[in-house]
Amino acid sequence: MLKAERAAYILQRLQELYPQTPVPLDHRDPFTLLVAVLLSAQCTDERVNQVTPALFALADNPVAMAALSVEQIREIIRPCGLSPQKSKAIKRLSEILVQEHGARVPPDMEALERLPGVGHKTASVVMSQAFGVPAFPVDTHIHRLAQRWGLSSGKNVVQTEKDLKRLFPREYWNRLHLQIIFYGRQYCTARGCDGRNCEICSTCYPDRKHPKKTRKA
């Protein structure tokens, strides 16, 4: 298969497998999504979903969150890991939202990326899933799958994102990034598939004899 043919097949197959694409992180609005995505760094979505109900019961908006102490936030989010950094970031970004954005999450990529603890991937998730703006968030798992499927040879997530955006129509980006995540977790895991075992890998590369070595993000 040529790269364009692989992309077309993958898009069609993922649409068939995952016609619905619910966001795995429980949230109610852009702010709670922003906090949940921030907490998900180096943490599973399941663990985040266990932690956020208690946090949002105390503060589910920037004004209330800014009023909490770093210690209060840290005590609740401790199971997510990296709690010292994450608690400071959540409090400070809440203060900035109150001071500079009318206590609202701005639907602007650059403004989001300037918030503490919010990188490009987190900002992309919020833009795509909270505001419906086409974006293609790429994490390390998507980066790895894009290499296994011959869609990108990028050395990092930045290049992989550019490659995927060139390959797939803009109107599919928001759903497709979730569909790839769903498929990767179910079928093309780091330990369960080495580039030869799952349906997509074996269809794209039926003659692949050796495990596919992927570049770390």
Residues with active-site annotation: 121, 139
**Distance separating alpha carbons of residues 28 and 64, to the nearest angstrom:** 15
Helix-, strand-, coil-residue percentages of the chain, each rounded to 5: 60, 0, 40
Which residue, among 47, 57, 31, 23, has the nearest Cα to 137 in the 3D structure? Answer: 23
The answer to whether the beta carbons of residues 125 and 37 sit under 8 Å apart is yes
Per the structure block, which two tokens stand in for 104? Answer: 């609202």
**Distance separating alpha carbons of residues 58 and 94, to the nearest angstrom:** 14
